[in-house]
Amino acid sequence: MVFSIATEFIENESEEVLKQDCERNAFKRLAVKIKENYPKLPICILGDSLYACEPVFEICDKYKWKFLIRFKEGSIKSIANEFEDLKKIDAKRHKDITWVNDIGYNERTVNLIEAKFENDDEKITTFVFITNIRITKSKSEEIVAFGRSRWKIENQGFNNQKTIRYNIEHANCLNYNAMKNHYLLTQITDILRQLYEFGVDKIKDLKKSIKEISSSILESFRTRLLTDTEDISNEKRMKIRLT
């Protein structure tokens, strides 16, 4: 399951704004909200190469967050060059994975890990990630797997919402606030739907269609009350890890 539990919009509401908003600026605002709402939660930021930059590193340093971010040569040229040089003389290797720890960058050190995968058509695809997680032989495969799991956010998360179930890539209206509200309601709907589909062990035995499942969820909100055994307000606290 992939849940969208926080949203920060890019606020370019008109062409007259003096400075365009962007994903990095939105991340800065979102990071503040996440830290306020989950002050003690251990967090690891997964992101594409856009977020391999000093402002993101600074936020992770400040909040003591981990990061595991896709890295491309154009992201930070000095790190890319040093990684290529060190691979020849001081890199560690395990299977098709190569890594170098403690590459100096500004006031910190970072670690880079590279993994090669052969596709079905026998072409080699290379993935490189930059991280502040110490890389070891025993953890190298797990780190690469976590880095690649970011595609679950894209495919099982946003792509599913955009093109398969909810068609949110199509504008539902021209009012900006209404569009944002529609998006947020879609996120809530998707969370409830996944909990219903994956949280009930016998759901496949019911042989219900997607439409029937949605109708059942709506009906439960209208008619069902929580019983004493379902009230978890006094139960032991739970921890949710973000990836």
Chain segment 173-215, per-residue pLDDT in tens: 788 888 888 888 888 888 888 877 776 666 667 677 767 877 8
Rounded to two decimals, what is the model's pTM? 0.75
State the average pLDDT over residues 219-232.
67
More confident residue, 19 or 230: 19
State the average pLDDT over residues 121-140.
93
Of the listed ranges 56-60, 122-126, 173-177, 187-191, the least confidently predicted one is: 173-177
pLDDT category of residue 43 using cuts at 50, 70 and 90: very high
Quickly count: other Cβ atoms within 10 Å of residue 206's Cβ: 10
* pLDDT (tens digit per residue) in 62-117: 999 999 999 987 789 999 999 999 999 889 999 899 999 999 999 899 999 999 98
- Residue 179 tokens read as 């569009």
More confident residue, 91 or 217: 91
pLDDT at 102: 95
CA distance 197 to 209: 11
Q: Which domains does the chain have, with CATH numbers?
A: 23-152 (3.90.350.10), 166-224 (no CATH)
Helix (H) or strand (E) holding 109: strand 108-118
pLDDT category of residue 241 using cuts at 50, 70 and 90: very low
More confident residue, 167 or 107: 107
| Residue 212 CA from chain centroid, whole number | 30
Q: To the nearest whole number, what is the mean pLDDT of the chain? A: 84
CA torsion, points 191, 154, 114, 76, in degrees to nearest 10?
-110
More confident residue, 169 or 124: 124
Strand partners, 147: none
